[in-house]
Copies of this chain bind each other. A is one copy, B any other.
């Protein structure tokens, strides 16, 4: 029996995590759940999984709805509440599935409290990898990736000596705008951007896939997770999303993990690692698959990718700037306030005007984030 704290339980990864828990009765106990503002779903989840503690991040909503959780779960709120859920006594593993930089501090606190982390929140390692990875090592805590690419790499590294890695090969679908040029990209709409060809995901990450910022964040995350230089991470476009990512070793052997696009697989893999259990889902059918295609990404058109590599190589606070600028710009794009290509233009602009702080602590990271939000306005 593994005891879980699930941060961001009403989002895409959170609900699928609970699907895995539901499908494997007796293997897990849920100790805490958190939501931003989706109180109805959180209440439903609380009734089903009976966590001790729930966090409604929005303080007003928390106050208004506290009575509805009476007899089920204690309600907390805000960042303190989120942290309380993350460090809850007796939890073996924290699933970090909140969206955005708000997830950084609770994860750091959970690592500090010695909890293993199933990490879906990219921003955590992108902005604070230099804090979390050494801390996890010191606390003997496992950081288990929960997205398809990093899980694929993690699975490919199973039983291998990490010193014998030659490079990581991150696959990318290329998103809905693969093959477009800069001019065409200027004309795309929010509706277009939300149509991901293969994966069903949250809104923010779907937009990030369309700009390829998501792949940029994944490069940075992979570099921290697997301790591999940015230059040794290659991105390959593979529109079918069949090969989830690969590792090339020094002998030239490439190990890959393939599968259908089903996020429950990497979630389940992190929850059960190093074991595998039956998953009630579709299987790859190579007879029907036909073919897998590969191309080089268009770094010129998809500036989100090249800017990520720049930010990662500069390091320090620059990845925070990249990420915060993107987070804010995507919110504005979803709100209909800016165009699609403005997202990466804003990131570039913010990066150009930033004075890098090397080795920023969490307070500095959060300050820079706020500063970027203010500058974009």
Contacts and interface: CB of A to CB of B under 8 A. Distances in A.
A19 to B, nearest CB: 14
Given A161-B276, A287-B296, A294-B291, A252 B262 contact: yes
A330 to B, nearest CB: 29
Chain copies in complex: 2
Interface stretch (A122-130, A151-159, A220-228, A307-315): A151-159
Given A265-B251, A286-B236, A246 B258 contact: yes
B259 A253 contact: yes
A256 to B, nearest CB: 5
A335 interface: no
Contacts of A251: 265, 268-269, 276-279
A44 to B, nearest CB: 27
Interface in A123-164: 155-156, 158-161, 164
Contacts of A187: none
A185 interface: no
Nearest to A290: B294
A377 interface: no
A259 B246 CA distance: 11
Nearest to A254: B258
Contacts of A282: 252
Nearest to A266: B253
Of A254, A257, A275, most buried by chain B (CB within 10 Å of CB) is: A254
Nearest to A236: B286
A281 interface: yes
9 contacts: A159-B159, A159-B274, A164-B276, A238-B286, A251-B276, A252-B283, A253-B265, A255-B257, A292-B292
